[in-house]
Amino acid sequence: MTRPRRDPWVQLTDLRRAEALLILPCNAAACVGNYFRAEVYRASGWNTWREADTLLRDLREEGRVAFAAVDSSILETAPEDPRGAIVLETEMERAASPDGEDWGAPSWRWFRPTASGAWPHLTQLTEALVRGVRRIEALGFPQVIALVNPRGYFLALAAAAAECGLMERWALVRVPAHPRSLGQAVRAVVPVIRHAVEGARLPGRIVGIPALLPALRREAARYREPLPPRWRPWAEPPRRLIQVRPVGADRG
């Protein structure tokens, strides 16, 4: 497959015209406070943020699609920040590590329970995401689409959206945790985002991408820890598939 052209990325400084917010996972370039800067850790100079920006370039240049990240590094750098663990592209410096070092990918091992059965890291991230979700909703984006693949990130974000009463309004795309699935997921979601900006209403709740469901089911079978009720409803592979209603379908 041919990659899109590696043009310089668009970084919005004003979100007032944004009609859709795409929430992506953070990446290693968070350490320098800029998720677009793939060159700091990858020789290809390419990452998911750059790919999404390129595929949505026209809408990005018009300011109609904004990006944000779920980022657990906030729990280390600013755990009490009222903005929570969703970092808008206008404030990426929030995620920079003090020494500029990458703290590594958020693997499920970090989120697993303690010997006593407590889930401190997943609880802390969920609470930070509740704050983040409330803030994002208050900003008034007409459409919110989340595509985060680390399991801990997804479970915490789904629980936060549900507790904030937004599960019917936000579209949470479930993706296998392995990074190789993320690029395919972005390419599948881009047409949906375009249709949403044109005026289609996205379905809320958790949705899956048909081509990735087999991998998601295999992955789910490998996790054996029983989850507490707060996260248990969001652990199974989704039954709904990604789709949109035609523009004008709700107009009688």
Q: What is the DSSP letter of 225?
A: S
H-type alpha helices, the chain? 48-55, 57-61, 74-77, 108-111, 120-139, 151-163, 180-198, 213-222
Length of the chain (residues): 252
Q: Of 52-61, 149-158, 242-251, which range is least confident?
A: 242-251
pLDDT at 189: 95
Residues facing 87 on adjacent strands: 69
Q: Determine what percent of the chain falls in helix, strand and coil, rounding each to the nearest 5.
A: 40, 10, 45
Q: Of 64-78, 94-108, 122-136, 201-215, which range is least confident?
A: 94-108
Q: Which of 178, 180, 148 is nearest to 71 (CA)?
A: 148
Q: Which of 24, 90, 33 is nearest to 55 (CA)?
A: 24
Cα–Cα distance measured from residue 173 to residue 237, given in angstroms and rounded to the nearest whole number:
10
CA distances from 140 to 48, 87, 89, 126, 135 (A): 25, 16, 16, 21, 9
pTM: 0.92
Domain regions of the chain by residue span: 20-97+107-234
pLDDT band at 4 (very low <50, low <70, confident <90, very high): very low
CATH label, 20-97+107-234, candidates 3.40.50, 2.60.40, 1.10.10, 2.40.160 = 3.40.50
Half-sphere exposure in the Cβ direction for 220 (13 Å, CA): 18
What residue type is 75 in one-letter code? Answer: L
Average pLDDT, the chain: 89
Owner of token pair 């375009």:
194
The two three-digit tokens of residue 144, written as one number: 């919110």
- 169-223 pLDDT tens trace: 999 999 999 888 999 999 999 999 999 999 888 878 999 999 999 999 999 999 9
Decide if pLDDT at 68 tops 50. Answer: yes
Select, from the ranges 101-110, 129-138, 195-204, the one with the highest average predicted confidence (pLDDT): 129-138
Is residue 11 within 8 Å of residue 3, measured between CB atoms?
A: no
Q: Which class for 110: exposed (0-12), middle (13-18), buried (19 or more C-beta within 10 A)?
A: middle
Would you put residue 94 in left (φ > 0), alpha (ψ -120 to 50) or beta?
alpha
pLDDT band at 42 (very low <50, low <70, confident <90, very high): low
